């Protein structure tokens, strides 16, 4: 039995950054006892974070996926923390994104019909009194959280409850034990209708036992979850005073400028993927000042500089989930630069997965890291064709589920040869006609083109099996960009393709995320393919450099993993 000197908690959280704090509050409000363990270092990505919640990002002005849902959850969360702590934390602020060039203006015009739904409008004005004017867009649904006060208030709140400790504890110190919690603790849990746990985690140095251990260690990797984060990025932030600067909004253009109440401005930030030091760098300082000089005029006074390492993942998605070997151990990490916005909603999602009421989204799950990754060497379209060519020897039946301009169709026709057969699908007559001309010019007579959606693949192919199926999602290049593949039809088509795909056959899916609906389609496809990754060999190849809206290639070999 655990000794009486041991304190028992339902949850021990290691790390009190944005992830750990959000999870601590979420568990606390759910009636679960929490112990926060933190090194309380002054410069971490969370502690120096500007707390910006930015709705529209990138040159193409793409709204962050599920932004409205994340924002609603964040507002409710921070307002409740304000009530609990008596601290003012959340400010709803407008934001400006300045056009960098004609391409930026063109991107706005391209999406101007959706400006109202995106809550953006064109903006013209000056940043400094009497200086040159700028043009850009105004974002109406931005927000900012005072992260430093939030983390400090969270620490104080849980410290008063006896649920916070400053310690250098690492994941190496935990032990599993089959002992139950103490008799008094069991009785209390039964009275509260909670599970009588039979396995607890013991932290001897803290004289603590717990039912769950959750790692929220930010950029510090652990032996329990060595792959997280797998793409950390160091960033510098400056505190400056810009002459005659008069904008209350947060301004974005390559960098961001946030005005403070004392007349100073906070400016950032850099991304250095090769530096994991939390020491400020001269390189970062100069990069920020050079970018700032393209926006404002006059001498800028630098008042301070800080740096930290963001816990970023290569696919720019957070990591939630359960350890594959230790069912009582969880992870909540990889929030990157959007932790202020996403942490509250994701913490609730993780709690739901712990209690069995919800599931972690596939693209956020730790399980996705079990998928093999391939380093990008050539264009994704070329890598897809290379993977398919390694399987085909000639004479097979294959499917091009999205013929587009016919490049993959011709590749397949040539690879399987006259004895093989290619079946191609596309909903656009222009794509069918273009592909027909390309096939005719190449002398290929082994192709059957169908002006049908790939969602009808299984019923329309009239074959029992196929050796290869290729999907190239998105819109038709140089075609009507309003006609795009959709999440529902694409997942239906891919599921059908996997049914007809013969053993040891190959499926390739090239998913584009930069257009309207592209992220939703990618998310749905990703979830579907991850469900097959436990059984078959699935590879993911990211564009280089990998960005949140860049294309992703999935290659699935219908080969059992135990073969």
The burial class, CB within 10 Å (0-12 / 13-18 / 19+), for 305 is: middle
Question: Are 506 and 544 in contact, with CB atoms under 8 Å apart?
Answer: no
Average pLDDT over residues 107-136: 74
Find the Cα–Cα–Cα–Cα dihedral 437, 439, 443, 449, rounded to 10°: -110
Say which range, 17-31, 97-111, 190-204, has the weakest mean pLDDT. 190-204
Q: What is the DSSP string of 521-557?
A: HHHHHHHHHHHHHTTEEEEEEE-SS--TTS-EEEEEE
Closest CA to 235 of 211, 219, 217: 219
pLDDT at 553: 93
pTM of the model: 0.67
pLDDT surpassing 50 at residue 15: yes
What would the pLDDT profile of 534-563 be if each residue is shown by its tens digit?
788 899 988 876 677 789 999 999 987 655
Type and span of the H or E element at 354: helix 339-355
> Strand ranges (DSSP E) for 388-494?
397-400, 421-425, 447-450, 466-472
Question: Are 513 and 522 in contact, with CB atoms under 8 Å apart?
Answer: yes
pLDDT at 43: 72
Cβ-based neighbour number of residue 29 at 10 Å = 14
Band of pLDDT at residue 65, cut at 50, 70 and 90: low
**What domains lie within the chain, and their CATH numbers?**
7-51+147-228+314-369 (3.50.50.60), 91-144+231-310 (3.30.9.10), 372-560 (3.40.50.150)
Find all residues with CB under 8 Å of 142, minimum gap 6, and list them. 52, 53, 54, 55, 92, 93, 94, 95, 250
Q: Which residue has the tokens 């400010």?
A: 91
Question: Are 148 and 17 in contact, with CB atoms under 8 Å apart?
Answer: no
Q: How far apart are CA 271 and CA 9, in angstroms?
A: 38
Q: How far apart are CA 228 and CA 219, in angstroms?
A: 8
Average pLDDT over residues 260-275: 89
What would the pLDDT profile of 217-261 be if each residue is shown by its tens digit?
998 888 889 889 988 889 999 999 999 998 999 999 989 999 998
pLDDT surpassing 60 at residue 25: yes
């Amino acid at each position: 039995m655990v000794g009486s000197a041991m304190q028992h908690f339902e949850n021990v959280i290691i790390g009190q950054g944005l992830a750990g704090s959000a999870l601590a509050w979420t568990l606390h409000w759910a009636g679960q006892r929490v112990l926060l363990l933190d090194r309380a270092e002054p410069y971490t990505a969370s502690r120096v974070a500007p707390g910006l919640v930015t709705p529209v990002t990138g040159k193409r002005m793409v709204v962050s996926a599920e932004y409205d849902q994340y924002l609603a959850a964040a507002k409710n969360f921070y307002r409740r923390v304000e009530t609990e702590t008596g601290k003012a934390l959340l400010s709803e602020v407008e934001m400006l994104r300045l056009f960098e060039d004609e391409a930026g203006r063109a991107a706005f015009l391209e999406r101007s019909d959706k400006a109202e739904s995106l809550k953006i409008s064109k903006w013209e004005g000056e940043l400094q009194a009497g200086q040159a004017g700028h043009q850009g867009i105004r974002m109406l649904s931005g927000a900012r959280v005072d992260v430093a006060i939030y983390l400090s208030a969270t620490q104080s709140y849980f410290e008063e409850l006896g649920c916070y400790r400053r310690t250098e504890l690492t994941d190496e110190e935990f032990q599993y034990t089959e002992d139950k919690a103490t008799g008094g603790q069991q009785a209390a849990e039964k009275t509260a209708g909670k599970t009588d746990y039979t396995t607890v985690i013991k932290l001897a140095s803290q004289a603590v036992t717990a039912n769950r251990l959750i790692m929220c260690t930010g950029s510090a990797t652990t032996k329990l979850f060595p792959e997280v984060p797998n793409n950390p990025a160091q960033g510098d932030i400056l505190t400056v005073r810009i002459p005659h600067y008069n904008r209350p909004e947060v301004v974005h253009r390559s960098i961001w400028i946030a005005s403070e109440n004392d007349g100073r401005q906070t400016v950032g930030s850099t991304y250095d993927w090769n530096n994991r030091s939390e020491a400020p760098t001269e390189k970062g300082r100069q990069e920020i000042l050079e970018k700032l000089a393209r926006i404002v005029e006059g001498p800028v006074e630098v008042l301070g500089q800080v740096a930290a390492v963001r816990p970023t993942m290569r696919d720019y998605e957070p990591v939630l989930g359960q350890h594959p070997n230790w069912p009582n151990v969880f992870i909540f990490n990889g929030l990157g630069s959007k932790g202020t916005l996403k942490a509250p909603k994701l913490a609730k999602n993780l709690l739901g997965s712990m209690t069995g009421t919800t599931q972690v989204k596939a693209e956020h799950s730790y399980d996705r890291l079990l998928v093999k990754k391939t380093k990008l060497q050539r264009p994704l379209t070329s890598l897809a064709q290379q993977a398919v060519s390694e399987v085909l020897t000639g004479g097979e039946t294959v499917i091009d589920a999205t013929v587009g301009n016919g490049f993959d169709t011709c590749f397949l026709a040539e690879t399987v040869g006259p004895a093989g057969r290619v079946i191609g699908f596309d909903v656009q007559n222009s794509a069918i006609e273009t592909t027909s001309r390309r096939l005719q010019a190449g002398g290929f007579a082994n192709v059957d083109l169908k002006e049908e959606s790939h969602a009808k693949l299984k019923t329309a192919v009239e074959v029992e099996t196929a050796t290869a199926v290729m999907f190239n999602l998105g819109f038709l290049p140089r075609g009507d960009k309003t006609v795009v593949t959709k999440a529902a039809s694409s997942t239906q088509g891919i599921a059908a393709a996997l049914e007809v795909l013969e053993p040891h056959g190959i499926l390739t899916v090239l998913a584009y995320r930069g257009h309207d609906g592209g992220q939703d389609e990618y998310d749905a496809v990703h979830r579907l393919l991850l469900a097959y990754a436990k059984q078959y060999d699935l590879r993911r190849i990211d564009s280089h450099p990998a960005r949140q809206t860049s294309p992703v290639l999935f290659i699935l070999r219908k080969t059992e993993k135990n073969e």
